[in-house]
Amino acid sequence: MKKSIFLVIFAILTLAASCAYAYSDVNEGDWFYENVTEMSENGYLKGYEDGTFRPSGIITKAELVSVVCRAAGIQPSAAVNAHWADGTVQAALKAGLFDWDEIPPTGETYDEPITRQIAVKIVMNAFLKDRRGDYNEVSSSVKDFSELDGRYYDSVIAAYSSGVVFGDENGRLNPKSSLTRAEACAIIMRAAKIKGGLTPFVPTATATPASPEVKRGGGVSENGKLRVDGTRLVNERGEAVQLRGMSSHGLQWFPQFASEAAIKATADYGANLFRCAMYTSEGGYTENRAVKDTLVSAVDAAIRQDMYVIIDWHILSDGDPLAHADEAAEFFAEMAERYGDNPAVLYEICNEPNGNVTWSGNVKPYAERIIPVIRAKSDGIILVGSPTWSQDLHEAAKDPLSGENIMYTCHFYAGTHTDWLRQRIADCALPVFVTEWGTSSADGGGGVFLDEARKWVDFMNERGISWANWSLCDKNETSAALRTGADVSDGISPDELSESGAFVFGQFAK
Ligand code: IDC
């Protein structure tokens, strides 16, 4: 968390009135020149770091709400999700600028384009709430009035009648289309001026980005020892539980993001699960035993943070779990000895079998060797992968393992795996645990694919399927939850989350 960046931004905002604003793409003579300049001078607007304003760019919900609130003097309240604009959106919702369903304050849709009809409503509610207009006049002059949703009639009629909105050259409002940044400035400025002029935006102390409200819950002290009941994971009272959290990246590469500070910060956003991915190859355990020490300290940290924690034997390039079965047996014997009595610990015995392996020929025999090793000391949850990078649930279902408290992992990446894999989970009738998923493509990059990720999260939530997201690190790949250079030693601030991280961290506490 680096507060200094914010201090600089706010210093700039406070000084705004005395600065001459110049954007490389806003020039005298442009129709929006005066509005954009005046709004910038009052501290309502910021351009991009490259010196552009991008007047014809599409404005998002978060951006429109932020600019309106600055211009209307609405100060942010405490953020409850990780999005940069959340404090402002929460304050705007409380101030009655829009309804919950229009911009759910959970953050998922903040970065979507706002529609013109909602934008008009927000601007009118912020500046000219009591204005009314003439229905007959406006409904007959606006050519596409019938395309408006009924809930926007009052605001749109008032906006036309007050001269805040004029429509396009064809007399249309295009109520469900998006709005450019320059157009948004125009309607905000008109409304603010009609209301009685502009007051410079001076952020109050509460405008510094709030650290996330601590949202603990669903941890070990609440749920106790877990077991499998049918296809469900249940707590010590037999009630269904869903674990949600982050997976580490490879512990050999990113130990700093498996530190107690990083794990605690994740728990503070509401996660009740942490997965410790200990690679077997690529510099991992079979090549460097020291990575086990990193794993043990991460597991201990998660336990102190009241979280459930997965010990993941992260096979990947070594596609056949039998390749390192001896080391696995030795490792899990030690882990079960150490953690066998601890209700927090789950054992994932083979991350992703892949290549020329089958369920019945490789994975099942491996599991039948490792499970008894763990069972000698622990009756905790054991998580088993399947061929094709833990997607072949249908093969496991034909020849399942016997024994209690065994779950089958399914891994997905939203840019690669879609309906067909959800269908496979729905069809397999096995207890499934998604120990790894990403918002990216399967290579950890590309995207992010938040629409598909949302479908997956909804699917998992409806079925109570537990999950861990790949991954808590700042690597320059889209699946990473943190921005490059994030310093988590004093927590994770909302601005340190990547696009993926902002989405995923917003899902823990639902
Ligand atoms: C990826 C990492 C990437 C690393 C690669 C190889 O994101 O930085 O270079 O592994 O070690 C998995 C694996 C997981 C992968 C991830 C994304 O379990 O280790 O991480 N992925 O490719 N299965 C499907 C996708």
Strand ranges in 267-356 using DSSP code E only, listed in sequence order: 273-279, 308-314, 345-348
Residues 6+ apart with CB under 8 A from 82: 107, 212, 269, 494, 497, 501, 502, 505, 506
368 within a domain of the structure (yes/no)? yes
**Would strands 345-348 and 232-234 be described as parallel, antiparallel, or unpaired?**
unpaired
% of residues, the chain, pLDDT over 90: 83
Residue 456 or 196, more confident: 456
Closest Cα to atom 19, ligand 1: which residue? 316
425 within a domain of the structure (yes/no)? yes
**pLDDT score at 413:** 98
335 within a domain of the structure (yes/no)? yes
Q: Are residues 155 and 295 located together in one domain of the fold? A: no
56 within a domain of the structure (yes/no)? yes
Closest Cα to atom 22, ligand 1: which residue? 443
**pLDDT score at 345:** 98
**Of 436, 437, 500, which is best to mutate to test ligand 1, by the most ligand atoms within 8 angstroms of its C-beta?**
436
Q: Are residues 184 and 250 located together in one domain of the fold? A: no
Q: Tell me the two tokens of residue 161.
A: 């009648």
Question: Mind telling me the catalytic residues?
Answer: 352, 436
**pLDDT score at 469:** 98
CB contact at 8 A, 42 and 201: yes
DSSP letter (8 states) at residue 361 = I
152 within a domain of the structure (yes/no)? yes
229 within a domain of the structure (yes/no)? no
Asked if residue 213 has pLDDT above 70, the reply is no
Asked if residue 19 has pLDDT above 50, the reply is no
24-50 confidence digits (pLDDT tens): 999 999 999 999 999 998 888 888 878
Q: Which atom of ligand 1 is nearest to the CA of 444?
A: 17
**Of 383, 410, 479, which is best to mutate to test ligand 1, by the most ligand atoms within 8 angstroms of its C-beta?**
479
Phi then psi for residue 196, to 5 deg, are 135, 30
User: Of 164, 180, 195, which marks where a domain is finished?
Assistant: 195
User: From ligand 1's centre to the CA of 444, what distance in Å?
Assistant: 6
**pLDDT score at 21:** 63
Q: Tell me the two tokens of residue 300.
A: 């201990």
**pLDDT score at 15:** 36
Give the count of alpha carbons within 13 A of 19, CB side only: 18
Closest Cα to atom 4, ligand 1: which residue? 444
Closest Cα to atom 12, ligand 1: which residue? 442
CB contact at 8 A, 225 and 91: no
328-342 confidence digits (pLDDT tens): 999 999 999 999 999
User: From ligand 1's centre to the CA of 343, what distance in Å?
Assistant: 28
Q: Hey, what amino acid is at 95?
A: A
Give the Cα separation of 355 and 421 in Å (integer).
Answer: 19
CB contact at 8 A, 188 and 42: no
Q: Are residues 99 and 159 located together in one domain of the fold? A: yes
Asked if residue 9 has pLDDT above 70, the reply is no
Q: Which atom of ligand 1 is nearest to the CA of 436?
A: 18
User: From ligand 1's centre to the CA of 395, what distance in Å?
Assistant: 23
**pLDDT score at 203:** 66
| Stated pTM of the model | 0.65
User: From ligand 1's centre to the CA of 438, what distance in Å?
Assistant: 10
Residues 6+ apart with CB under 8 A from 8: none
Q: Are residues 186 and 279 located together in one domain of the fold? A: no
66-83 confidence digits (pLDDT tens): 999 999 999 988 888 788
Q: Are residues 186 and 244 located together in one domain of the fold? A: no
As for how many domains the chain has, the answer is: 2
Asked if residue 481 has pLDDT above 60, the reply is yes
**pLDDT score at 374:** 98
User: Of 140, 167, 195, which marks where a domain is finished?
Assistant: 195
Asked if residue 412 has pLDDT above 60, the reply is yes
* pLDDT tier at 276, thresholds 50, 70, 90: very high
- The whole-number average pLDDT for the span 94-104 is 92
Alpha-carbon dihedral sign for residues 366, 372, 374, 379: positive
Q: Which atom of ligand 1 is nearest to the CA of 389?
A: 23
Q: Which atom of ligand 1 is nearest to the CA of 475?
A: 8
* pLDDT tier at 209, thresholds 50, 70, 90: very low
Q: Are residues 449 and 311 located together in one domain of the fold? A: yes
Q: Which residues have CB under 6 Å of ligand 1?
A: 282, 316, 351-352, 389, 411, 413, 436, 442-444, 470, 475, 477, 479
Q: Are residues 240 and 186 located together in one domain of the fold? A: no
User: From ligand 1's centre to the CA of 325, what distance in Å?
Assistant: 21
Q: Are residues 350 and 456 located together in one domain of the fold? A: yes
Closest by Cα among 118, 123, 127 to 100:
118
Residue 78 or 140, more confident: 140
Which CATH number covers residue 477?
Answer: 3.20.20.80
373-393 confidence digits (pLDDT tens): 999 999 999 999 999 999 999
Q: Are residues 156 and 69 located together in one domain of the fold? A: yes
- The whole-number average pLDDT for the span 96-114 is 91
Q: Are residues 190 and 278 located together in one domain of the fold? A: no
Closest Cα to atom 25, ligand 1: which residue? 442
Q: Which atom of ligand 1 is nearest to the CA of 351?
A: 18
**pLDDT score at 50:** 83
23 within a domain of the structure (yes/no)? no
User: Of 195, 224, 250, which marks where a domain is finished?
Assistant: 195
User: From ligand 1's centre to the CA of 454, what distance in Å?
Assistant: 21
Asked if residue 85 has pLDDT above 50, the reply is yes
Q: 383 is in which domain, residue-wise?
A: 235-505
Which residue in this structure is represented by tokens 């392996």? 357
4 within a domain of the structure (yes/no)? no
User: From ligand 1's centre to the CA of 243, what distance in Å?
Assistant: 22
Asked if residue 18 has pLDDT above 60, the reply is no
Q: Are residues 272 and 156 located together in one domain of the fold? A: no
Closest Cα to atom 20, ligand 1: which residue? 444
Average of per-residue pLDDT values in the chain: 92
Q: Which atom of ligand 1 is nearest to the CA of 282?
A: 11
Q: Are residues 417 and 498 located together in one domain of the fold? A: yes
* pLDDT tier at 364, thresholds 50, 70, 90: very high
Which residue in this structure is represented by tokens 């700042």? 474
- The whole-number average pLDDT for the span 104-123 is 93
